[in-house]
Structure 1
């Protein structure tokens, strides 16, 4: 599951870095991550990894940052220094909103250039990029990292073009994905080269991907008048980013407020007279549910009707996780079915990909984002990693236990569905 950014819209004195939940297949909620993959992907045990940061924008002023928790240093807050090799472990400052003591802005140089960084084992990792200006990171006592916010107008990065990819690198594997859960900004692509398990590639968006998405949101608003255009953030008349619905509702709580109400009512009516079947892809196996009274009941798990806010966040109301393992396994699949609007066209879930986003009431942000990515992949809502067993990945992830080189490309100038060459030049 991917978590939404809870610290956004808070002043610097309140913002604190929380361990970032990675976009892991929800079936892994019941099992350690190292059990998710086959033994043919056994980890090599290397304590560091090379990360190639490639500038495929049209700008020579592009910065990269790498942050996370250093797993081999008691999960200490980690930033990579500007030389792309030296770890920086901030000490706890005496005041909120303190400056970093180290320069952590990695300059990528001219278009086409690549800088190769070296990272240790990191949990909750993010690789950030900005164009035109560096990102301002601050420190609170802890130490806690104050990250950029897309919903706080007073954030020092509010008018900067920036984006990130997420990753975890541990003794078992590297896992990484492209994240659009909160917003879409600069195109990012991923390529993972391994010792013996092949090369994996996530294409990302072409250079004009953001403009394509913003045009799609404008068109959807013209079609249904629901305010999808309000998710577009501009600076000086240019598209800066497109917010996801859950972040758009942070900015404007009335936006899309009752959007899913009629769809939810139709779902409840349908399953009042027939059952649905959910493959939890976990220890609970396949469970059957039916509406009884006002709740959708699976025996040991019951769900009230979700609000639009619950559906877009995937984490509130009936979708809040707790101590019941069966409920926790149902939540991702039910949340995904609402976001993809497959509940009226199927009785078994996760549903097939060809059924996604076909209803007029759906997560059009996710639909438009997937369409704008060259291979259709990328996290567009928190449970976008839900898929049928042996189904097509939607989330834009790469993973392997034998990683050799992790290439993260920013800008989309060479975006392709084919795996790019590893040839690169250094600064």
Structure 2
């Protein structure tokens, strides 16, 4: 398929807000790394066609030297734009105001932040979708990994007449209200601090919701939040898969060469006065078509902290560049911990069912649960970093909210879906 994705004709940006919206004008921005310019920093200029490739500035937080505010207009308007092939792409929407992007030496693009209260964009209403456009395909998803704010929908039309139009509706127009209401209700039920994910419009006692932070983002702002939230569940998982018990935890790597990994927990007791006993979940590979020779050493994970689980990228789940098999297992483990399915399903992710996600144990990623529940009618959206982990050949269990095509024609990104739902 190399070269086929060059057929992308345009990205269509739409403002589907209602005329009754308090701030109905929408501005858009497209950022990424230009694949064909050695991954140079790219920002689309206001004309919707010209790329801005910034030079490295002399000082931090320097302003952009070009106008990159793409005005879509009021409710019911749309704007077609074109882009080169980009990696790490984002399509940003801001309602009622313009976002301020800045530059650091490098150059490095300083993007709007929801975890820095001094950021000039912090009090604005904005959101983004993520995409990659390369020689193989266009791939895009609605990202709720960091926060929920404006509702965004995706649609992708193919050059192939036989390929149906792909659609991810995302949150409805009232989605943020629904998410915040249920987060507050969940805090009332368990007192764990889910209400602290809610950010209101300034001042802090404002009547309107500005955004809902993911647990990972909220913990950046308050390190005491959820400090040991997952520990009882982690302890239960370690007990279930102890070496003396059966069956072991099986992780399908979904890689024919590696096969499956079977894991059980063990505890070692170093001689006193050494450090306390070390409890590990240790995996060995089974059934791969070309298991490396010699066989790889067992792969062990310490107990993950709550921060490790919500971030999927620290501590026990930190990615290791020279350990692709370990990274593969870590992604599937992290997904199962977020969904709290490890106590009911020892066959991950092959035997997973969406109906059991977040439902089998009171300790779970309730933010992800709430976001998926509010994303009507299909419950799709990327709510944590490995939300695309799913059984093979079962599209109904893929809840990540992605669109992809090797011969894309038009990618439509709207705020919100047409009709507002």
Range into which the TM-score falls when normalised by the shorter chain:
0.7 to 0.9
Gaps of 5+ in 2: 268-278, 285-297
- Distance in 1 (CA, whole Å) between partners of 2:331 and 2:8 is 33
Q: 2:17 aligns with which of 48, 57, 62?
A: 57
Secondary structure of 2:43 counterpart: strand
Partner of 2:410: 405
- Distance in 2 (CA, whole Å) between partners of 1:47 and 1:142 is 32
- Distance in 1 (CA, whole Å) between partners of 2:8 and 2:412 is 15
Q: 1:248 aligns with which of 212, 218, 242?
A: 218
Q: 2:379 aligns with which of 361, 366, 376?
A: 376
8 Å contact 1:232–1:242 — kept in the other structure? yes
Q: 1:396 aligns with which of 401, 413, 420?
A: 401
Partner of 1:363: 365
Q: 1:387 aligns with which of 386, 390, 394?
A: 390
8 Å contact 1:187–1:207 — kept in the other structure? yes
Partner of 2:299: 301
Secondary structure of 1:330 counterpart: helix
- Distance in 2 (CA, whole Å) between partners of 1:65 and 1:81 is 8
Q: In the alignment, is residue 286 of structure 1 matched against residue 260 of structure 2?
A: yes
Q: Which moved more, 1:282-291 or 1:254-263?
A: 282-291
Q: Note closer, same or farther for the CA distance 1:208–1:186 as it changes in structure 2 (3 Å cut).
A: same
Partner of 2:86: 122
8 Å contact 1:47–1:171 — kept in the other structure? no
Structure 1 or 2, whichever has the larger Rg, is: 2
Aligned residues: 376
Partner of 2:195: 229
Secondary structure of 1:108 counterpart: strand
**CA deviation after TM superposition for structure 1 residue 405, in Å:** 0.3
8 Å contact 1:206–1:413 — kept in the other structure? no
- Distance in 2 (CA, whole Å) between partners of 1:151 and 1:70 is 27
1:102-181 map, 5 Å: 102-181=66-145
- Distance in 2 (CA, whole Å) between partners of 1:108 and 1:64 is 7
- Distance in 2 (CA, whole Å) between partners of 1:156 and 1:176 is 27
The structure 1 segments of at least 4 consecutive aligned residues displaced by more than 6 Å after TM superposition are none
Structure 1 vs Structure 2 CA RMSD: 1.3
- Distance in 2 (CA, whole Å) between partners of 1:74 and 1:43 is 17
8 Å contact 1:137–1:147 — kept in the other structure? yes
Gaps of 5+ in 1: 1-38, 417-427
- Distance in 2 (CA, whole Å) between partners of 1:60 and 1:357 is 35
Q: 2:310 aligns with which of 312, 315, 333?
A: 312
**CA deviation after TM superposition for structure 1 residue 354, in Å:** 2.0
8 Å contact 2:7–2:409 — kept in the other structure? no
What are the superposed Cα offsets for residues 11-55 of structure 1, whole Å, 9 maximum, x if unpaired? xxxxxxxxxxxxxxxxxxxxxxxxxxxx6xx75252754000000
